[in-house]
Structure 1
């Protein structure tokens, strides 16, 4: 998963507080993504601010948000849900932050070159780690049906681990106290992965997004 350090400060005053469903938030994200695609000639560092200023004031007014705390919480949720669901938004952020990891963009899902025996060594579980986009380490404990991530700030995420055929597996989000993960995902969100290479004991894994964008990254076994 990627960790971006862009701070957006937006202050608004409204009349009342209402709870927001993820459907409402994802709906405004779709509109923001559409607006972003039309900003071809704008500098990348200005695009994020433009779409937030264009869409969020009207959205907050429509749903009667009057608390800055609630507004900030929704802003965080929108920011990270955009990363999950909008390729153009991810592309902009990619240009604004140096990649200090081994994450790469793949043209398509690669076919697995890993033997069943080698795959079984991964699926039986154990302790692993991978690097986030900014180079931070995420420790992973894999059990028969759980995938537990622990981050450098001592927060964690819990996901269900669903092994499939041909080296593929799904992760189903349960919960997290990590700021990014709890805003990026909601309970039940599924993420599709597949192991496609094994080099010197290190697994190359692809991640397929809902918009069909595919990324590759390494998962390292812990000594």
Structure 2
């Protein structure tokens, strides 16, 4: 699905100027507003109209050598900045492991002992949308993702409450993560409950009103 959507973005070029992440985010926010106003319930048609009427004119101002890169950046930042776009992608290509989203901040059910156990854990893993396993090392204020293709992401973390910690993105050589995040992007994780071999977590991006629940497994 990802490659198919990116291909739809490519093919219109001309003009010359450099793109900042602020500009990319501005374009993605305009696309999100347009998406919210579409009346059709056909997700494939929504994507087609979105790209045809919003992104294509923008790509027409981009130097041909930069179109593919800009298209990828818009695609990934749109996922980060636009819940409606992510919902469409999940309906068109459902994640291998189900996640849920709520507009109300969930409450943690962890006991004091379970919180302490979590903070002493260093190694975790979770499943990507396509089912791949990503390993996590959480140690000495750093969160490192190790992906199945050998790439990585580095972030810092700090606890901001008994059950919440803030991740701040530093760098990544993974295609998805390096386009999805920029240095300094923040993510708030909350530990909600403990299962037999996993913790139920929630993820909130500061400035957004949604909380995504997912599982992170411990070793």
TM-score past 0.5 threshold? yes
Distance 1:58 1:178, change over 3 A: same
The answer on 1:120 being equivalent to 2:119 is no
More divergent stretch after superposition (51-60 vs 73-82): 51-60
Deviation string 1:77-130 (CA, Å, 9 cap, x unpaired) is 111111111111111111101221142223522211112222122223411101
How far apart are 1:43 and its partner, in Å?
A: 1.5
State how far apart, in whole Å, the 2-side matches of 1:49 and 1:112 are: 40
Gaps of 5+ in 1: none
State how far apart, in whole Å, the 2-side matches of 1:7 and 1:118 are: 42
The answer on 1:58 being equivalent to 2:67 is no
Structure with greater helix percent: 2
State how far apart, in whole Å, the 2-side matches of 1:151 and 1:173 are: 16
- Contact conserved, 1:125 with 1:144, CA < 8 A, in 2? no
Instruction: Specify the alignment match of 2:5 in structure 1.
Output: 7
Deviation string 1:40-61 (CA, Å, 9 cap, x unpaired) is 2151012223212222233234
More divergent stretch after superposition (183-192 vs 25-34): 25-34
Instruction: Specify the alignment match of 1:155 in structure 2.
Output: 151
The answer on 1:218 being equivalent to 2:215 is yes
State how far apart, in whole Å, the 2-side matches of 1:131 and 1:71 are: 31
How far apart are 1:139 and its partner, in Å?
A: 0.6
The answer on 1:33 being equivalent to 2:29 is no
User: Which of 185, 189, 208 does residue 185 from structure 2 map onto?
Assistant: 189
RMSD: 1.8
The DSSP-based 3-state class of the residue aligned with 1:8 is helix
Deviation string 1:145-168 (CA, Å, 9 cap, x unpaired) is 000001111111000011221310
State how far apart, in whole Å, the 2-side matches of 1:57 and 1:100 are: 31
Aligned residue pairs, count: 216
How far apart are 1:6 and its partner, in Å?
A: 4.0
How far apart are 1:134 and its partner, in Å?
A: 2.4
How far apart are 1:4 and its partner, in Å?
A: 4.7
Gaps of 5+ in 2: none
- Contact conserved, 1:109 with 1:214, CA < 8 A, in 2? yes
